[in-house]
Amino acid sequence: MKKEKKRTAALFLLLCLCVNFLACMLPIKVYAAPEVSAPAYIVMEASTGQVICEKDANTKRSPASITKIMTMLIIFEHLKSGRIHLDDMVTTSAHAKSMGGSQVFLEEGETQTLETLIKCIAVASGNDASVAVAEYIAGSEGEFVKLMNEKAESLGMQNTHFEDCCGLTDSDDHYTSAKDVAIMSRELITKYPEVFKYTKIWMEDIEHKTAQGTSVFTLSSTNKLLKRYEYATGLKTGSTSKALYCLSATANKDGMELIAVIMGAPDNNSRFSDAIALLNYGYSVVNMYTDENKDALPVQKVEGGVEDKVNLTYAGEFKYLDTSGNNLNDIEKEISLPDVIEAPVAEGDAVGEAVYRLNGNRIGSVSILAAKSVEKAGYLDYLMKVWERYLVSFKGLGSK
């Protein structure tokens, strides 16, 4: 009887081990993207630009005020260049004051700091503030729009054309796509993360100072996601009768930034619910592998140079975003370098690469660069090398 119990227990233990082994061998199930009300959307990981899921993301649609993402991108580019500054005083024109739709009620001739107007754009979606800044940077809204379209083209936004800087127009020639919105959103938040200082504001007071006196105006964020989603960081809402309800939502959870773009949602609440569902889905299926590439690299031999060797460095870190449930511990890294390189070599020249593979498949690479320049050796350089070798050998004989 005791032998029978022991045999049964052993069989049960073996069965459990087999089940666990088979479970480990099976791929992790990746669920389909959730059903949402918006006819077009995309979810993108910001650091890699990899698309996690999308629907009708390349169709041209009216963007309404998410147009201002490009407006803010142009502003922050000019700030970085030093051509404009946050404390610059910007004067409101009659044209800027005349803007309808969402506005912060700037008066003609009223001056505000550029930083205040950025808050008016990012928080309250002020059309008047957008035009005032556009005119300050480019001289006119039309010239500023040219900068917007040039930037869109340089970013590869193939389904985008802007007619104004705020999205108020109903022109059929003012359009973009969910994917293009994600592209410009990614450019803005990765190149200029300081934008979050403004897009995270829920409420803030500003002062109107005009000939009629001073009054306080409260900026209130149009992005209700800031209160409804704990990981929300921005970015921009938009709505018109033509565009319906749009949103470019950015979020940061455990250091991973996602962008969810919603276009054409049927109502105000749906665009936020859709964004939450898509962001939650994105975070549930993604897994990031990062190699900071801080390991030491071998010294590279150089032929025909004033120096015989050159140190190497990585071009940067490597990131891989997995959405298929793979075990990222299985990623393998291989350093690929030639036996020797020919001079001249310029600092930053790619001389090899670090190749990454998962389950035998190449998933990406990082270039390996020369850490400094090595000039091609001339006649005198060769004579110096011969002389140095002679001195070394002479010293060696003398020590014997």
The residues annotated as belonging to the active site are 65, 68, 125
- Cα torsion angle, 37, 38, 42, 43, sign: negative
What tokens appear for 69 in the block?
């993402």
Q: Which two tokens stand for residue 68?
A: 């201002």
Supply 201's token pair. 């504001």
The kind and range of the H/E element at 64 are none
Tally of CB atoms within 10 A around 250: 29
The answer to whether 104 and 124 have CB atoms below 8 angstroms apart is yes
**The two structure tokens encoding residue 219:** 């900026």
Tokens describing residue 26:
């099976």
Distances from the Cα of 160 to the Cαs of 60, 157, 176, 308, in angstroms?
7, 6, 4, 52
In whole angstroms, how far apart are CA 356 and each of 291, 316, 360? 10, 14, 9
Q: Which two tokens stand for residue 147?
A: 């900068």
Do 157 and 180 meet the contact criterion of CB atoms below 8 Å apart? yes
H-run or E-run covering 382:
helix 379-399
Please say whether the beta carbons of 56 and 39 come within 8 A.
yes
